[in-house]
Structure 1
Amino acid sequence: MTATAVTAQSLDWRYTDGAAPEHWAKANASYAACDAGKMQSPIDLNQANAIGDIELSTNYGPAKAKLSLGQHKVQIDAAADQGMVSGDRQFNLIQVHFHTPSEHAIDGKRYPLVAHFVHATDDGTLGVLGVMFEEGEANPGLQAIIDALPQGNKASFDIDLAEMVPEELQVYRYMGSLTTPPCSENVNWHVVEEVLEASPAQIAVMEQALGMSARSIQPANNRLIVAPAD
């Protein structure tokens, strides 16, 4: 199983060489937060300093999706009638994209793949739900994306987004940033504790499509990091 070549996209930042994460702030003045920010992501979630269950629900389900490909980018755009409620705030789904390996770590461990469900409230506040994957059984939602890859950029396909999210949503919660330039802060991060499975072949396809696409772990800087209760 192989992935199609992604659409070329000119970026002034990368994950390796002279444009790697530690150099992002030098690449463009608008990326200053990547170096100067104090609420950067990702972090190691073993630094949690509080425990508590967070009211979180989603209404993910079947959707018409469109594929968006680029350098370090496998993304699906879906209709905004799905999303999540965190506390009493409605976050509307904008897109889902992937990184290899996972960006956040749990007890120092990064997993081979992560899906980031990116949302925004009506006033533009961002909220991300991160779901990590480890090797195991094939994931049908992920397979729908992989099957669309040979059709190339802008391919339309059907997917059930609920297949890429655990039924039980026990999450780590903290305030952080975008993990790619411009590294904007005040992002509401929710990282699911339960790790889903994807087959080795599925993970290999995503690794081929994305390459190394995870930012280095950032300092917690005494932020409130809430771990799920046992």
Structure 2
Amino acid sequence: MDRRNLLKALAGLAVCPLCSATGFAAEGAHWSYEGDAGPAKWGDLDAANKACSIGSQQSPIDIIAPVKSQLPPLKLSWAKTADSIVNNGHTIQLNFSEGSTLKLGDTTYKLVQLHFHRPSEHLIGGMNFAMEAHFVHRAESGALAVVGVLMAEGKANATFGKIVATMPAKEGPAVKADAAINPNGLLPAKLGYYRYSGSLTTPPCAEVVEWLVLSDPIQVAASDVAGFAKLYPMNARPAQKSNRRYVLQSS
């Protein structure tokens, strides 16, 4: 599947490779994070997943020796609530209504959904974190920009605590999200970031993502990480080869 068709497919899935518009797992070959359907086999499970095994710009990566650069600031304008929350069989995901945006340079992206991985998928100098949040944005062109937030165990985070307290325990349809869940509460005080071109970290692993990984992690309670881990003890793809890609770091 070429880049243009992958973009069209992603648009049809509302940018969510994990679920359909109703929140259930997408049709196609079953995949997981271990065993015969684990990350090493994703590319063999379905012809649409070939990028998982033969792609040259796969994500996540271990961020080593980034290059300091004059990058544009991340201009985030998000609503203070989420629309719905869903356990889609691979992670916990929150979906957002129209109106929340990311402006990066001259491009405006709409916030579509937020989901979590344990442990973090991106590594910084060989070190991973307890978890990672991915805020998925889509431009009118179909281009994707994902803001990654690294999560370390420490002080409690009210937003993540509310997500863990209200997340569906079993896979099923999306339900209304608690009004107290404010996505802005999952951001660090400073929005410095690493930027590189990569892919979705789940099948079909399409190489259509502008990655914006925030350099400062947030802190979340160890008890909340443990609560998430009761549902998903491990749902992170291993780090992929950088293949000489430059990672830029905002100054």
Q: TM-score, normalised by structure 2?
A: 0.83
Report deviation, 1:103: 0.3
* Counterpart pick for 1:30 among 48, 52, 62: 48
- Work out whether 1:155 is the aligned partner of 2:153: no
Q: Give the 3-state SS of the residue equivalent to 1:138 in structure 2.
A: coil
* Counterpart pick for 1:99 among 113, 117, 120: 117
Q: How many residues align?
A: 223
Query: Unaligned stretches of 5+ in structure 1?
Result: 1-6
Question: Does the Cα contact within 8 Å between 1:72 and 1:209 map onto a contact in 2?
Answer: no
- Work out whether 1:42 is the aligned partner of 2:60: yes
The structure whose residues are more often strand, as a share, is: 1
- Indicate the structure whose relative CO is greater, using CA pairs within 8 Å and at least 6 residues apart: 1
- Work out whether 1:211 is the aligned partner of 2:233: yes
For 1:36-75, what aligned pairs fall within 5 Å after superposition?
36-75=54-93
Q: Following the alignment from structure 1 to structure 2, what is the Cα–Cα distance between the partners of residues 8 and 210? A: 16
Structure 1 segments (4+ residues) deviating >4 Å? 7-11, 150-153
- Work out whether 1:135 is the aligned partner of 2:157: no
Q: Following the alignment from structure 1 to structure 2, what is the Cα–Cα distance between the partners of residues 130 and 59? A: 16
Q: Following the alignment from structure 2 to structure 1, what is the Cα–Cα distance between the partners of residues 48 and 75? A: 34
Q: TM-score, normalised by structure 1?
A: 0.91
Report deviation, 1:85: 1.0
Question: Does the Cα contact within 8 Å between 1:57 and 1:169 map onto a contact in 2?
Answer: no
1:167 maps to 189
User: Counterpart amino acid of 1:178?
Assistant: L
Q: Following the alignment from structure 1 to structure 2, what is the Cα–Cα distance between the partners of residues 189 and 85? A: 14
1:3 maps to none
Work out the percentage of aligned pairs sharing the same amino acid.
Answer: 32
1:223 maps to 245
Q: Which segment is superposed worse, 95-104 or 85-94?
A: 85-94
Query: Unaligned stretches of 5+ in structure 2?
Result: 1-22
- Work out whether 1:116 is the aligned partner of 2:134: yes
Q: Following the alignment from structure 1 to structure 2, what is the Cα–Cα distance between the partners of residues 52 and 46? A: 18
User: Counterpart amino acid of 2:87?
Assistant: L
1:126 maps to 144
